[in-house]
Amino acid sequence: MSKPLQTKDAKPKEENNTKKPLGNVNTNVMIIANTVVTIVILAIFMVIMYSLFDNMITNKISAFHSPDEQIEEVENVEDERGILLDLGDFILNLADITPRRYLKVNVAMELSKTQEEIEMLNSTQKSSGGHGSAPTDPMESIATEMEQYKPAIRDAIISVMSNKTSDELSSATGKELAKEEIKEMVNTVFNGQREVMRVSFGQFIIQ
């Protein structure tokens, strides 16, 4: 007996069966990719919305600070500011021997307030919103006190600057050193009641 012949269509059918799963795989990959992209976009959108919402809440909370808190912040800033004292111009001989040199300089300084002055200024600011006669300006009494100290302060400045040579005061470092020495000497004038916060030189001419 002769063996039955194999049909030619058997092999192509197997090839068709192997190609179908590839199409399904590509479809699944596209679905997964689209899902991942969608999730990423949603996550970015949520982060942006959260940031905007958080900023809005923060701004609203800061806008609703109580008046007492705002007043306290202003008072703290005012407390940190010192008393400005303009000591005017100084014309004095320097320590140079040959040739003789002299200095013309304008000096001002910032002095700390005493606790009593801070309390008095804060009390005046709170009562200034009311009606009636204007309260006494506490800065007037402070200015009067400063006038009493001016001669001693000027003497301290002259003592420091007249012991400097023109070379010492020609450099920025020398000027800063002179300021520090002035601060130390003027602090002894106040005997711990207040402190020199800063010394400033205006016009500064050496001839």
Enter the tokens of residue 62. 């800061």
Structure tokens at 2: 């002769």
Per-residue pLDDT of the chain (207 residues; tens, 9 = 90+): 555 555 555 555 555 555 555 566 678 778 888 888 889 898 898 888 888 877 777 776 666 655 555 455 544 545 567 889 999 999 999 999 888 999 999 999 999 988 888 887 777 766 655 555 555 566 777 888 888 999 999 999 999 999 999 999 999 999 999 999 999 999 999 988 889 999 999 999 999
Q: What per-residue confidence (pLDDT) applies to 61?
A: 64
Structure tokens at 13: 């059918």
Task: Give the whole-angstrom CA distance, residue 108 versus residue 156.
Answer: 13
Prediction pTM value: 0.57
* Cα 163 to Cα 92, 103, 159, 199, distances in angstroms: 10, 11, 7, 18
CA distances from 160 to 88, 89, 154, 169 (A): 16, 15, 10, 11
| Helical H segments across the chain, by residue range | 10-63, 67-80, 115-127, 138-161, 166-170, 172-190
- CATH classification of 68-127+138-206, choosing from 3.40.50.1820, 3.30.479.30, 3.20.20.70, 3.50.30.30? 3.30.479.30
Rounded-to-integer distance, Cα 138 and Cα 117, Å:
8
